[in-house]
Structures are given as structure tokens and as C-alpha cells.
Amino acid sequence: MALTELLVALPLVSRGLTAPQVTAIYLVIGFLSWYIFTSITAWYRLKDFPGPPTTGFSNLWAARAIWTGKAHKFFVEAQEEYGPITRIGPNTLMVCDAATVVDMNAVRSSYTRSKDWYHAARLDPYDHNVLSETDSAIHNERKQKLYAGYNGKGEMDMEKDVDMILSEAIDLIRTKYMHSATSGPKPNLDFTRISRHIAVDAVTQAGFGKAWGDVREEKDHYDWLKTVDSMAQLLHSLAFLPELNRILFSKPSLALIGPKPTDKNGIGVFLGMVKQEVSRRFKDGEAKGEPVKSDTGRSNMLDEWVKNGVSQRTIELEVAAQLPAGTDTTSSALQGTMLYLLSTPSAYSRLKAEIATGIREGRISSPITNEEARKLPYLQAVLNEGLRMMPPVMNGFPRRVPPEGDTICGKFVPGGTDVQLNYKGLLQDKSVFGHDAHLFRPERYLEGDEEHRNRLFKTTDLAFSHGRWKCLGQKLAWLELQKVFVEFLRNFDLQIADPMNPCKLKVYSVPEMDHFMVRVTEAKLD
């Protein structure tokens, strides 16, 4: 029977509807039936896991939590109500349990990265980098080749790279922002801006061999930070909407609306610059038979990757990834730790005293070295407490449960389920950090026996992930954190300019702080 004849035989036609109208109606009915069936099926798979009412049928609750810029509140409050494993979507659970995070990320774990979420985490939208690659074998092979560069091996000296950037920052602050008895009025320092500029220059210096000069010129070169800020809310929200994510990041969509190296603005300009720089290194390297060194005479990440046989296209992807991944996270850790430190006079005074004693006893060089900083117990306590209170990554980065399923927090989770990580909740777990886990109190890392202290440090270290997916940029981040706090506090005294409104904060998957203004005076180290 022909389709038209079949439609004529249907009851709807007898009501005066045409065949095309009937076809449309039945298509809608078919779609709704399919949607209801799949929604009920999805809900039923994870029906034993409590969560906000709509999460069994839709991802909109989680996407809205991100979109509002209050994800740290939404997810923490949900887990306080529903428990350490909470449903936040039809196929998504969220955990804030340290042991689960360690198990999922272990080197021999059978968990994989969730393809849906990581589509939105690609910095070059056309291919994956080591941060977004979901094929475990490809990820492991690539990470092994990149490890030397990220960890400053070969002829690199990341410590000197950071020292150079920090020296420029100290000079700038002393000249333009430091109040003194003899100086005229000076403006307050926007700590959010200078911390972001330090992070950008540190990554470009260590990564490419030449800093962009954001600190020295107080300029957002190439409008990079402006571009990142304009995209953050949308991209982080899309990561929690897998259906829309697949459409927008499909190859046909990217061909129409995606960034291109030939663009005159936006992310495309950055991709074009990366492509040009990497291409130059390969050509120069072939001509000279060796990596190209920067003006400092030192090697850098890009050079080490060329030397270690990483392909040109892979390097383009990794260079494009290292800037956003290594700047927003590090700068947010700097900002959050400084905010809590300046808001806690006892901690501020104790850290200043430790630095003053170290200088007086000759245990702190100028600038401080990484080795010296590691031996300052209260500095390490402050930095870990800052990371705990303001994790550089608050949520996201889901792992997919292996086909055979797994038991998480005492409950069996079916295979194929995505498990999101709630770092904010995990790092304020009272069973680990005590009844005052919601307070900034660095002393907690110096109390109790060695086993207890090690547990705190190891749990806090999960802010950089764990195992096979541990953050490759952790070494550079720690260099910046240690050196910034010692060098800033040995040179300056800092005070929050407006205690009633210290800053503006939005949290998507990564904290985005703005307008953190501080008054700077010359340090008085006794």
C-alpha cells in the first residue's frame, strides 16, 4: 500500500486533514514516543541514585548550574543533600569521594574519558590534544612523549623562566602601584589581572621560548584573555549538554562556524599564530639539525618536543592547549590563595614571619629557589590550603564506567555511566579535613602525626588529578605559586582595598575571578 493510501485510511484524515499534515503529526507523535521511551529507560538505569528532580530525564539542571556561574554552590549543595554520589543527569553521576577518584584515575584503571564531555574541551576544535584525548592508548603514548617538555627536562630551565617573569612583575608593582611616604597617590593593584598576565607570560616563555610581554606592557596581547572570557560560560555549559555538544562540534558545523587560522580575530588568530610558530621551528630545526633556542639561550617545551620526535600536527595541538589549560587554572589558584590569605590576618602574619626568618638565616635566596620553597612548611601549608579552598578545577572531567560496571561509594554503577568529579566537595570533606573544613586554616597541614598530614597533602594533590590523567603542567604551576607568594610578600605588604566587596567571582568548571583590588605598600619584614 502506498504511503498516501495508508494515510488516507488513518482516522486523522477523516477530520479534514491533508496527507502532509497527517504525516507531520505522526512524525511528532513518533518522536515524542521515542523521547519518552528513551527517557524512561535512561531514568530506570540509574533510578537508585538520588539527585535533583529533573536530572533523571534531562541534563539541563547541570548545564544551568554551570551557566549561572555558581556551579561550586549548586553541586556542593546537591551532594550535601543527596550524598557523596549524586545523579546530575540521565546518564551522569557526580562523586566527591577521594578513594573513588584515585581508583578511577589509576594507571591500570579500565575507566575511560567520556567522549561527550571532552568534545567541548578541545582547544583546537578539529583534533584532540593530550588534555581532551579520549582514546586511552593514544593518550598514554602522547603523554609519554610530552612528559620531558612539561617537566623541564633537557636544556630547559623553567625556574629561570618564572624568575624572569616575576622580576618584571615586582619592578612594575614597585614603580607604578607601591604607596610610600614619599610617593604621591598610587592606584590600587588589580591582582586578578597581574596574576593572569604572570601566568600567560610564564607559559609562553617556558612553552615557546619567548614571553608575550603581558606583564611588562600590562597588555592582553592578541586579546587572548578577552577571547577566553567571552567563551568560558558557553563552552563550559555545552560540555554538560552532550546532545547539543555533538551537533555544534561535528565536522559539518565546524566547517561552517568553527575558528580558522586565517581569521582576523577570536580563537582563530591564536590557532594561526601557533601554526606559524610551530612551522617555523620545524623548518629551522631541519636547516640547523637541532632545536631552536630562545633569546635566553635555554631550550623550551616546543624545542624538546621537536627533539623527541613529536609530529608537527601533534605539537600544534599541544601548544594550543597548554596556554588556556596552564593560565586560567594557575591564575585562579594564585587569586584564590591570595584572597584567603589576605582575609586571614593570623595566616598572613605567620607566613610573613617565616619568610623573614628564612631571609635572615640565609635559607632564602633572591629570588627564592624551588628547593628552598619546598623547605618552608608554613608556605606549603598555605598553598595547599589555598588549592583546597579554591581548586583550579571545580568540577567536570568525567570518567566512563567500564562495560562490566563498578561499585562506587557502596553502590553498583552500570557500565557506560559517566562519573563527574566534584573537586570542591571532595576537598572540603569533613571526614578528611575536619569539622572546620569550610574554613581557611593552613595549620591543619602541620597538625597530627605524619600519617594524618600525608593524607591531607595527598588528598589536596587530587586538585591536579591523579594517575594517568594527572596534570602535566603541575610543575610549572607550583613554581609560579611558590615564587609569587614569597617574592610578593618579601617585597610588599598587601591589603584588600574593599573588604566588603573584595572581588567578583563566577565558577563554571574553572573559577573566574575579577576585580580583586589590593593596596600595595613596601614590606616590613622584621
Q: Which residues contact 211 (CB under 8 A, 6 or more apart)?
A: 164, 165, 201, 202, 204, 205
Phi, psi of 504 (to 5 degrees): -110, 135
Strand-pair category, 517-522 with 178-179:
parallel
pTM: 0.89
Same-domain check for residues 158 and 136: yes
Same-domain check for residues 233 and 291: yes
B/e letters for 132-163, b = 16+ CB within 10 Å, e = fewer, are bbbeeeebeebbebbebbbbbebebbbbebbb
If one counts the domains in the chain, the total is: 2
Same-domain check for residues 460 and 516: yes
pLDDT at residue 303 in the model? 86
pLDDT at residue 287 in the model? 42
Which residue has better confidence, 526 or 373?
373
What's the mean pLDDT in 215-223?
93
| Distance, CA of 509 to CA of 520 (rounded, Å) | 31
pLDDT range class, residue 9, cuts 50, 70, 90: low
What's the mean pLDDT in 439-451?
97
What's the mean pLDDT in 497-504?
96
Same-domain check for residues 271 and 221: yes
Same-domain check for residues 8 and 68: no
pLDDT at residue 309 in the model? 85
Kindly report the CATH number assigned to the domain that includes residue 416: 1.10.630.10
> Which residue numbers belong to the known binding site?
471
Phi, psi of 354 (to 5 degrees): -65, -40
Please answer whether residues 175 and 516 qualify as being in contact, where contact means their C-beta atoms are separated by less than 8 angstroms: no
Same-domain check for residues 10 and 152: no
Same-domain check for residues 310 and 387: yes
> Which residue numbers belong to the known binding site for heme?
471
Same-domain check for residues 12 and 117: no
Same-domain check for residues 37 and 176: no
Same-domain check for residues 16 and 106: no
Q: To the nearest whole number, what is the mean pLDDT of the chain?
A: 88
What's the mean pLDDT in 90-117?
92
Which residue has better confidence, 60 or 284?
60
Expressed as residue numbers, the domain containing 37 is: 1-45
First to last CA, the chain: 96
Span 27-46, pLDDT tens digits: 788 767 766 656 666 667 89
pLDDT at residue 7 in the model? 47
Report the share of the chain in percent with pLDDT over 70: 91
Same-domain check for residues 150 and 1: no
| Partners of 504 in the β-ladder | 514
Same-domain check for residues 22 and 122: no
Whether residue 25 is predicted with pLDDT greater than 90 in this model: the reply is no
